[in-house]
Structure 1
Amino acid sequence: MALWRVRATVDDRPGYLSVLTASLALRSVNILAVQVHTTEEGAVDDFLVDAPDALTESDLMAAVAKGRGRDAFVARAEAQGLADQPTRSLALAGRLVHEPDLLGESLVALLDATDVRWRPASASDVAGFHGGRMTLIDPAGGCLEVLRALPAFTPAEFARAQALVEVAASVHRLHREQVSLLLPDGTELVLRPAVADDLAAVREMHDECSPATLRRRYPGGVPGEARLRRLLEPARGITLLAVAPGGSVTAMATLSVEGDLGEVTLLVEDGWQRRGLGTALLRRLHGHAARTGLAAVVAHTAGDDVAMLRTLRRLGAETFERDGALVSATLPVADRAPAT
Structure 2
Amino acid sequence: MRHGRGPPGQGVPARCCAVRPSALRLLIHEPPLATIRSASAADWPLADLLHRACSEANMVLRWGRPGVVRRDFARLLEHGEVWIGLGADGRPLAMVSVGPVSREAGVVDLGLQVADAHQRRGIGTLLTWHAADHAHRLGAHTLAAYTDASNTPMLRLLARLGPAVHTRDGSHLDVRVRLGDAPAGHGSW
| Distance in structure 1 (CA, Å) of the matches to 2:11 and 2:48 | 23
1:52-201 to structure 2, matched below 5 A, reads 171=6, 175-176=11-12, 179=14, 183-189=27-33, 190-201=35-46
Distance in 1 between the 2:147 and 2:6 partners?
Answer: 33
CA deviation after TM superposition for structure 1 residue 300, in Å: 1.2
Secondary structure of the equivalent of 2:51? Answer: helix
Q: How far is 1:171 from its partner? A: 4.5
| Residue pair 1:262, 1:298 contacting (<8 A) in 2 also | yes
Distance 1:302 1:288, change over 3 A: same
CA-CA distance at 1:188 after TM superposition: 4.2
Secondary structure of the 1:234 match is helix
How many residue pairs get matched?
Answer: 167
- RMSD between aligned residues: 2.3
Structure 2 counterpart of 1:29: none
Q: Distance in 1 between matches of 2:11 and 2:91?
A: 18
- 1:1-340 to structure 2, matched below 5 A, reads 171=6, 175-176=11-12, 179=14, 183-189=27-33, 190-220=35-65, 222-231=67-76, 233-235=77-79, 237-257=80-100, 258=103, 259-333=105-179, 334-335=181-182, 336-339=184-187
- Determine if contact 2:139/2:187 at 8 Å carries over to the other structure: yes
* Cα deviation code 1:192-212 (max 9, x no counterpart): 111222110110111121011
TM-score normalised by length of structure 1: 0.45
- Secondary structure class of the residue paired with 1:287: helix
d(CA) in 2 for partners of 1:298, 1:304 = 17
Question: Is the 8 Å Cα contact of residues 179 and 192 (structure 1) preserved in structure 2?
Answer: no
Question: 2:113 aligns to what SS in structure 1?
Answer: strand
Question: What letter matches 1:179 in structure 2?
Answer: A
How far apart, in 2, do the equivalents of 1:171 and 1:269 lie? Answer: 23
The superposition leaves residues 275-301 of structure 1 with CA deviations (integer Å, 9 ceiling, x where unpaired) of 111110111111011100012110111
Distance 2:11 2:70 in 1: 26
Spell out, residue by residue over 1:233-258, the C-alpha distance to the aligned partner (whole angstroms, 9 max, x if none): 234x2111110111110110110214
Q: What code does the residue aligned with 1:215 have?
A: V
Return the alpha-carbon distance in structure 1 between the equivalents of residues 164 and 30 of structure 2. Answer: 32
Secondary structure of 2:78's aligned partner: coil
Please give the alpha-carbon distance, in whole angstroms, between the structure 2 residues aligned to 1:268 and 1:201.
Answer: 13
Native 8 Å contact 1:234 1:256 kept in 2 = no
* Shift, 1:317, TM fit: 3.8
Paired position in structure 2 for 1:166: none
Any idea what SS the aligned residue of 1:286 has?
Answer: helix
Distance apart, 1:222 and its partner CA:
2.9
**1:114-146 deviation per Cα after TM superposition (whole angstroms, max 9, x unaligned):** xxxxxxxxxxxxxxxxxxxxxxxxxxxxxxxxx
Cα deviation digits, residues 163-218 of structure 1 (max 9, x gap): xxxxxxx759x844x63986142324211111222110110111121011000001
* Contact 1:260 1:293 survives alignment (8 Å): yes
Amino acid in the other structure paired with 1:186: E
Query: Unmatched 5+ residue regions in structure 2?
Result: none
After superposing on structure 2, the runs of 4+ consecutive aligned residues of structure 1 that deviate more than 3 Å are 178-182
- SS for the counterpart of 2:29 is coil
